[in-house]
């Protein structure tokens, strides 16, 4: 795939230094993709979303890139519907599932739901997660094998969109933006949850990509969305042509190659692309071919 690179990369190419690609040589094609949504701020009651509907844009882009496997929404709020329910999958929590359920509990439930529905049957999955959904995913996969968690999980790829691994560092007032719910408090910079997550090692065998940095994102900066030991980190730093906010990462179905970004692969310098693919398109390629 041809790319127009800015001068520093052009110089490297002129000198014969290869620009590193996001690539894997061994992978299982068309595995189920689990879509993990983010926080819902509604207080009380039984809030939720149609997770299949939210996953539909990514499913469409995956199909446009030749993917033929299923895309499955993950239901964890009591009002979520049309996805795979993880409510109390660990069998240790009997309360209503709303935004006062700890992220740790959701991570544990997610881990067991993946194990029971897929890993125990020898089935690999990949995960696409938005915002707090990435925290749920990261907690699940970094605690596999520990007390109260499954012994293993067959997860091939993870892509997270605007996940505040280091906390919601762009929210001007977290209490006003998100309230005082447990999940909001845990997602704040410096929280016990964020501090613990920062100590965890990357899950073995999982190809992990983080995306973030949109100038219009009022929740987390690139410093936060990339604060995880992922192999691949993408920074959408420009306001043109898309100017991603916290939610448009997961609704942009464009297959154009006109969005500038910066990306870093493990152990390599950061490379700037003058034109590149959009967020869902890059995520699809990461999961289907593990190459950009």
**Spatial separation of the C-alpha atoms in residues 84 and 80, rounded to whole Å:** 9
C-beta of residue 95 within 8 angstroms of C-beta of residue 126: no
**Is the pLDDT assigned to residue 241 strictly greater than 90?**
yes
**Is the pLDDT assigned to residue 30 strictly greater than 80?**
yes
Span 25-43, average pLDDT: 88
C-beta of residue 34 within 8 angstroms of C-beta of residue 128: yes
Q: How far is the CA of 29 from the CAs of 40, 156, 172, 237, in angstroms?
A: 32, 10, 42, 31
**Spatial separation of the C-alpha atoms in residues 123 and 142, rounded to whole Å:** 19
**Spatial separation of the C-alpha atoms in residues 63 and 84, rounded to whole Å:** 20
Mean of per-residue pLDDT scores for the chain: 89
- The pLDDT, as a whole number, for residue 81 is 96
Q: What is the percentage of the chain residues whose pLDDT exceeds 70?
A: 89
Other C-beta atoms closer than 10 Å to the C-beta of 110 total: 27
Q: How far is the CA of 28 from the CAs of 15, 102, 126, 151, in angstroms?
A: 36, 33, 10, 21
| Domains of the chain from N-terminus onward | 7-20+41-288 (3.40.50)
- The pLDDT, as a whole number, for residue 176 is 64
Considering the entire predicted model, what is its pTM? 0.92
**Is the pLDDT assigned to residue 277 strictly greater than 90?**
yes
- The pLDDT, as a whole number, for residue 16 is 33
**Three-class DSSP category at 52:** helix
C-beta of residue 170 within 8 angstroms of C-beta of residue 112: no
**Spatial separation of the C-alpha atoms in residues 237 and 157, rounded to whole Å:** 24
The two most distant CA atoms of the chain are separated, in Å, by: 62
**Is the pLDDT assigned to residue 100 strictly greater than 80?**
yes
- The pLDDT, as a whole number, for residue 21 is 64
**CA–centroid distance for 45 within its chain:** 27
- The pLDDT, as a whole number, for residue 109 is 98
- The pLDDT, as a whole number, for residue 114 is 98
4 band by pLDDT with thresholds 50, 70 and 90: very low
268 Cβ neighbours under 8 A, 6+ residues apart: 20
Q: Is the dihedral of CA 129, 131, 132, 136 positive or negative?
A: positive
Please write the tens of the pLDDT for every residue from 134-168. Answer: 999 999 999 999 999 999 999 999 999 999 999 99
Residue written as tokens 């790319």? 3
**Spatial separation of the C-alpha atoms in residues 110 and 112, rounded to whole Å:** 5
**Is the pLDDT assigned to residue 226 strictly greater than 80?**
yes
155 Cβ neighbours under 8 A, 6+ residues apart: 114, 124, 125, 126, 127, 141, 203, 205, 206
Q: What is the percentage of the chain residues whose pLDDT exceeds 90?
A: 78
**Spatial separation of the C-alpha atoms in residues 23 and 8, rounded to whole Å:** 22
125 Cβ neighbours under 8 A, 6+ residues apart: 31, 32, 33, 34, 114, 118, 154, 155, 156
């Amino acid at each position: 795939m041809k790319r127009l690179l800015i001068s520093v990369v052009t110089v490297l190419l002129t000198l014969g230094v290869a620009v590193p690609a996001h690539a894997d040589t061994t992978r299982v094609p068309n595995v189920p993709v689990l879509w993990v949504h983010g926080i819902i701020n509604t207080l009380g009651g039984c809030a939720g979303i149609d997770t299949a509907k939210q996953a539909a844009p990514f499913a469409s882009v995956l199909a446009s890139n030749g993917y033929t496997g299923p895309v499955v929404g993950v239901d964890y709020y009591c009002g979520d519907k049309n996805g795979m329910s993880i409510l109390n999958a660990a069998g240790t929590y009997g309360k209503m599932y709303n935004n006062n359920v700890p992220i740790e509990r959701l991570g544990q439930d997610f881990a067991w739901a993946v194990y029971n529905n897929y890993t125990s049957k020898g089935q690999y999955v990949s995960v696409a997660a938005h915002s707090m959904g990435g925290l749920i995913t990261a907690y699940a996969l970094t605690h596999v094998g520990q007390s109260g968690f499954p012994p293993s999980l067959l997860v091939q790829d993870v892509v997270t969109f605007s996940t505040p691994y280091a906390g919601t560092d762009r929210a001007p007032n977290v209490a006003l933006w998100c309230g005082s719910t447990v999940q909001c408090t845990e997602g704040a910079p410096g929280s016990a949850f964020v501090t613990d997550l920062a100590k965890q090692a990357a899950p073995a065998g999982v190809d992990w990509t983080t995306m973030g940095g949109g100038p219009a994102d009022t929740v987390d900066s690139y410093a936060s969305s990339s604060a995880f030991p992922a192999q691949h980190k993408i920074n959408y730093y420009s306001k043109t042509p898309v100017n991603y906010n916290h939610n448009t990462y997961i609704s942009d179905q464009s297959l154009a190659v006109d969005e500038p970004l910066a990306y870093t692969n493990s152990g390599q310098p950061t490379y700037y692309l003058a034109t590149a693919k959009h967020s869902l398109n890059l995520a699809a390629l990461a999961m289907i071919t593990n190459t950009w």
